[in-house]
Amino acid sequence: MKISVRAQNCTAEGAFEVLAKAKALEREKGIKVIHLEIGEPDFPTPARVIASCKNALDQGHTHYTPAAGIPELREAVAQYLNKHRGADYEPSDVLISTGGKLLIFATCMTFLEEGDEAIYPDPGYPPYRSAIRLAGGHPVPLPLLEEDDYRVDIDRLSKLITPKTRLIILNSPQNPTGGVLPRADLEKIAEVVKSSNAVVFSDEIYSHLIYDKNVPHVSIATLPGMKERTVLMDGMSKTYAMTGWRLAYATVPREFFSPMQKIINNTVSCTPTFVQYAGIDALLGDNPEVEMMKEKFAKRRLLMVKLANQIPGFHAREPLGAFYLFVNVKEILSKYQLSSKAFADHLLYQAGVAILGGSAFGDTGEGYIRFSYANSSPNIEEAMDRIRKIVVKDFPI
């Protein structure tokens, strides 16, 4: 029996691998692991959203829907984006999906032929590279550097684009760095894209989680000439603490809508009906929990930055968005000849703190470790204290 090359080249997402190791450690050794590896809000889904889902179940909304989603949710998404992005979308532009990963995959399947090139951020969300490979494309990493505040270097991007470039993936706010692309950068990127044959996939899943009021979220899809060549993706997982609900959406240029809809139809058929009804109340309802979560994340962000920078050999910039801290530990890794993954494993098994090595996000991520501050302040304080003690003992600088 032979396994396809595509399946062999598909890598698992590092956060889930570390989560499995951490759970095994808890189960087998009885150790209380502090989980800072997984990008999941530690808050419950807003009460109104849960009630809406229960109501949908009670009303019998448990059957198939059109592959693109129920009309009411597509209308809600268009209304939400037009209000919060300054966009101009119709419900017919909106495609509903069971999570953002399926939309990443569907986009790659829609635009990439065998050997076509797709540019993706490095460090960046691991499924980008996997989806490109599964679609038969050639992944081309776009390095995001700490000294550039993890913004896109326009000259570097321009040099990576070739006649084979069919897709350019952007992510702002960004996982794992917390970087945010300001309007001026996006305008320059748009001009570069418009001179190419590429379509943009704009991952905006952390759009609500920007902490500097002077740096508003801007979607490249709203810039002149970009709506018709941008797939804008957002969803409910991060903003509404709905990771397990698996609900996301994209706006798709009309000439590409039918092919992408067919991929949704041929993979999951449709998104669960009752979840879609809950999505309407998430987007349009009064959910005070959303702002409460953001305020908590903002405080945890500052706490984690302060505590990380007190650990010898740790150097952390203050992230502008998302809920991750990408910490430079090159000084430690160089002195002790360690990889970021080996260092993260050491902290898991010796300190009982689950984090991710930066190499999980691409070659440019080597030399860094990623923390998620989607955990309580007391847990963050204890985790950083445990790490500091282990670093001082095992890796003195």
pLDDT tens-place string over residues 215-256: 999 999 999 999 999 999 999 999 999 999 999 999 999 999
CA distance linking residue 349 with residue 361, whole number of Å: 21
Distance (Å) of CA 396 to CA 137, 306, 313, 358, 387: 44, 20, 8, 21, 12
Closest residue by Cα to residue 200 from 174, 222, 178? 222
Q: Please tell me the distance from the alpha carbon of residue 301 to that of residue 305, in angstroms, as a whole number.
A: 6
Identify the pLDDT of residue 29. Answer: 82
The helix/strand/coil state of 63 is coil
Express each pLDDT in 307-347 by its tens digit: 999 999 999 999 999 999 999 999 999 999 999 999 999 99
DSSP run (H or E) holding 354: strand 353-354
Q: How far is CA 321 from the centre of its chain?
A: 11
Q: Which residue has the tokens 């390095």?
A: 143
Q: For 296, how many CA atoms within 13 A lie in the half-sphere containing its CB?
A: 17
pLDDT digits (tens, 9 = 90+) for 266-320: 999 999 999 999 999 999 999 999 999 999 999 999 999 999 999 999 999 999 9
The confidence score (pLDDT) of residue 392 equals: 98
Angle, CA 72 vertex, CA 70 and CA 75 arms, to 5°: 110
- Binning pLDDT at 50, 70 and 90, where does residue 31 land? confident
Distances (CA, A) of 260 to 79, 110, 288: 22, 6, 34
- The radius of gyration of the chain from alpha carbons, rounded to an integer in Å, stands at 21
**Is the CA virtual torsion 145, 150, 155, 156 positive or negative?**
positive
* Tokens representing residue 113 in the block: 């032929």
Q: What pairs with residue 371 in β-bridges?
A: 325
pLDDT of residue 5: 78
As a whole-number percent, the residues of the chain with pLDDT over 90 amount to: 91
| Structure confidence at residue 26 (pLDDT) | 84
pLDDT at 20: 86
Read off the pTM.
Answer: 0.95
368 contacts 379 by C-beta, under 8 angstroms: no
